[in-house]
Chains A and B, each alone.
Chain A
Amino acid sequence: MIQAQLEIQLIAAVVAAACALPGVFLVLRKMSMMSDAISHAILPGIVLGFFATSDLASPLLIAGATLTGVLTVALVEMISSTRLIKEDAAIGIVFPALFSVGVILIAQYAGDVHLDIDAVLLGELAFAPFDRLVVGGQDIGPRSLYLMSGVLVVNILFIVIFFKELKVATFDAGLAAALGLMPVLIHYLLMGLVSVTAVGAFDAVGSILVVALMVGPPSAAYLLTDRLSVMLVLSALIGAGSAVAGYWMAHALDASIGGAMATMVGVAFFFTWLLAPDKGYVARQRRRTRQRWTFATKMLTVHLLSHEGLPEAAEECREDHLTHHLRWEPAFATQAVKTAMSDGLVARSGPLLELTPAGRKHAARAVVEI
């Protein structure tokens, strides 16, 4: 592996981790689509800033574009507070409008600036290692690595310092307000953080794929844990892992790195959704099946207990009668009896089904529970 490859992967991983951290709060606050709105709406800010500074990493540009992001959120909230348009529609109106202005600006001045529409959508991660940061004549590494590491550190510091406030404001905004934790201020700080991160990541992965990095890893982590701190760490790890995997996918196909990173985020989420312990699809299905048979054996033992020793037992306590009395399908009845027998709750005596002592106890407990 040559040094440039290593550097690209490092940048990709840092970008992904930086995006995943504020993304956790977006996902938990049901504001995922705000990342879509912000990452699009910062485009005119970036373009105008680029005209002014002709440097995508200039602090002035980052500050200006971040402001655009926060203003977008304020604009969306202002429009939806008039109640003329619902919030989701307001989001869907505001960001395409701002994004369009940005694209038109780029297209109009395409000849004059080194910023083209492909870069807006894809980012230019592959070129990142060519832009070096030189301090005192010494090459100390790619500039975007330092930029994104800076953003990552800011995100980590913000979350560590305001962890309590963020937590309360996210899960119980009313309580946060009552405790004087200023949920509105936290909300806007968070939006500022999302904007800064989107502006920084824009260079690497483009505007639309930022959404994948902000929403995907936290969603996957959400299926793995119930603890906020664990979710934050997992999100950053899943994001970084997907980024590195994406790099190698792009390398193999000779395709866009940003797009491949987003694809790998999707793949990571898919497998988490499928296989997550407890909250994954397979685990849920298995739990459901288990509950079905637990309930069926309960029904069976209670049924047998209620007719045990009575004259109609010869009629009622037969496997083929279960289809009639409990309205079970024949195959289901057979399987239920088999399960109950393997659990040692029921035994056969000729054509009749009989409760074992354990089965009697089981049925008695089931009756009490119900």
Chain B
Amino acid sequence: MDVLIDLFSDYTLRVVALGAAILGMSSGALGAFAVLRRQSLLGDAISHAALPGIALAFLLTGSKAPLVLVLGAAIAGWLGTLLILAVTETSRIKYDSALGMMLSVFFGFGLVLLTFIQKRPDANQAGLDTYLFGQAASLRVSDVITMASIAALALAGVAVFWKEFKVLSFDPDFGRSIGFPIRRLDIGLTTLLVISIVIGLQTVGVVLMSAMIISPAAAARQWTDRLGRMVILSGLFGAVAGVTGAALSSAKANLPTGPTIVVAVSAIVAVSLLLAPNRGMVWSRLRAWRAGRRLRMDAVLMDLFLLATQHDSAEYPHDRRVLDAMSFPRGATTRNLRLLEDRGYVQRIDATRWALTAVGADRARMLAHENPSEWRTA
């Protein structure tokens, strides 16, 4: 509760939460496209590849201003993406290998530069390593303003090219055929993705930023089949996770921001996977269970019908044990008969015998008519 109160009263925390919300929104929205285009892991590569860019920007300019470092990160992330493309297009190296290699090699080089910088006598270098796991507490108002303007630019880009990006994501061949410059759009969307990633580096860190691209989008996908709603929802999830994580980590000592935000967003994914209407695993299990129960019930109904057809009346009673012998697997007959009784399809005649009701006989005839191959009615 304290955290909630602080969120409204504490100035620093408000700044931090605002920053986290902005990064969650932009990475969530752009992440939706990345996930739909099956480029989830590209986000991982871009964010890792940004590290040497940050270190080099500092080495070259001596400045720790977020704008300078973010620019370095963006250039390095971009370069990494281009190299992945170049390697896969000019050799038989597959996409996944190029991705993994670029990610780890760039990151390794970044670490070399970081450790190199740390050993220099210059005292100004402290704090660069917050870019590894992020530190929300290091956000200042000016940083948040920078983040907000860049994010606004990226989101405006999505809004302006909405139709084009939609076509690019779902059917690029169609887009090409109606004359969209697909390659340039692809580069544009990837650039926006790079931008949305580098915005979050100061808060979440290069190691875990990829989760902010993938997870909100994967969660949002479970709730809707429409792109517009998915992008908005994804941005919302990202923002909620960002604020939750940043607030928790500012409130508690020794709680690194990036990992806390990632745990929050992972929880959103878990809830979405389980509970989202239609696609949620709980509902689909429930549907499967209901369908199975209906099928087993109908099987007993049809057995009873099959027996009755050998007599004058469709409502001729039969012993439960006969039904038991006919059904597979054995033993559940009584339960299925009770379920049928609840629905008014069968009635109990005495201790062991059951008969179809008129309604039950009608249902049996209907099933046999609808699907004669399924139900053997001789």
Selected from A36, A99, A256, A265, the residue in CB contact (under 8 A) with B105 is A265
Q: A93-B211, A208-B207 are in contact. Are A263 and B256 (CB under 8 A)?
A: no
Contact A281 B91 (CB under 8 A): yes
Contact A103 B91 (CB under 8 A): no
Chain A 325-364, CB-CB to B under 8 Å as 1, else 0, gives 0000000000000000000000000000000000000000
A140 interface residue (CB < 8 Å to B): no
Q: A97-B211, A110-B254 are in contact. Are A263 and B103 (CB under 8 A)?
A: no
Selected from A99, A219, A280, the residue in CB contact (under 8 A) with B259 is A99
Give the nearest-CB partner of B90 in chain A: A281
Q: Which of A6-14, A141-149, A209-217 contacts B (4 or more CB under 8 A)?
A: A209-217
B320 interface residue (CB < 8 Å to A): no
B115 interface residue (CB < 8 Å to A): yes
| Besides A255-B111, A284-B90, 10 new A-B residue pairs in contact (Cβ under 8 A), listed by A number | A30-B97, A32-B101, A33-B100, A85-B273, A104-B255, A208-B207, A211-B101, A216-B104, A256-B115, A266-B106
A312 interface residue (CB < 8 Å to B): no
Q: Which of A181-189, A191-199, A246-254, A298-306 contacts B (4 or more CB under 8 A)?
A: A246-254
Name the prevailing secondary structure of the B interface residues: helix
Contact B97 A27 (CB under 8 A): yes
CB contacts (< 8 Å) of B110 on chain A: these are 259
Selected from A85, A88, A223, A269, the residue in CB contact (under 8 A) with B41 is A88
CB distance from B114 to the nearest CB of A (A): 8
CB distance from B89 to the nearest CB of A (A): 11
B189 interface residue (CB < 8 Å to A): no
Q: How far is the CA of A36 from the CA of B269 in the complex (A)?
A: 20
B17 interface residue (CB < 8 Å to A): no
The number of residues on chain A lying at the interface, defined by a beta carbon within 8 Å of a beta carbon of chain B, is: 63
The number of residues on chain B lying at the interface, defined by a beta carbon within 8 Å of a beta carbon of chain A, is: 60
CB contacts (< 8 Å) of A218 on chain B: these are 97
CB distance from B196 to the nearest CB of A (A): 15
Contact B119 A254 (CB under 8 A): yes
Q: Which of B7-15, B175-183, B214-222 contacts A (4 or more CB under 8 A)?
A: B214-222
CB distance from B58 to the nearest CB of A (A): 15
B92 interface residue (CB < 8 Å to A): yes
Give the nearest-CB partner of A281 in chain B: B90
CB contacts (< 8 Å) of B54 on chain A: these are none
CB contacts (< 8 Å) of A280 on chain B: these are 91
